[in-house]
């Protein structure tokens, strides 16, 4: 499990970006959120845990949950 901070949320498109503690940035989609989080209530600066998953466009965050 990796820890990071919500960097940006694009509400109308259903995705956002997480700045991980390792310095990398990961894309996430609302479908990748755990039940502990509601996409419409996410704000920048919120701490989260996530798993790095592979996708056709490269690594992304999945199973995103509240830290």
Q: What is the CATH number of the domain that holds 7?
A: 2.40.50.140
The set of residues, in sequence order, having a beta carbon less than 8 Å from that of 52 and lying 6+ positions away, is 2, 26, 59, 60, 61, 62
Count Cα atoms within 13 angstroms, Cβ side, for 48: 33
pLDDT at 36: 85
Q: How many domains does the chain have?
A: 1
Q: Are 5 and 46 in contact (CB under 8 A)?
A: yes
Full domain range(s) for residue 60: 2-66
What's the predicted TM-score (pTM) here?
Answer: 0.92
pLDDT at 60: 97
pLDDT at 48: 97
Regions of the chain where pLDDT drops below 50: none
């Amino acid at each position: 499990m990796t820890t990071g901070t919500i960097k940006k949320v694009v509400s109308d498109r259903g995705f956002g970006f997480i700045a991980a503690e390792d310095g990398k940035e990961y894309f996430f989609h609302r479908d990748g959120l755990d039940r502990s989080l509601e996409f419409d209530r996410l704000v920048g600066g919120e701490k989260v845990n996530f798993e790095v998953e592979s996708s056709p466009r490269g690594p992304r965050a999945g199973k995103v949950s509240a830290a």
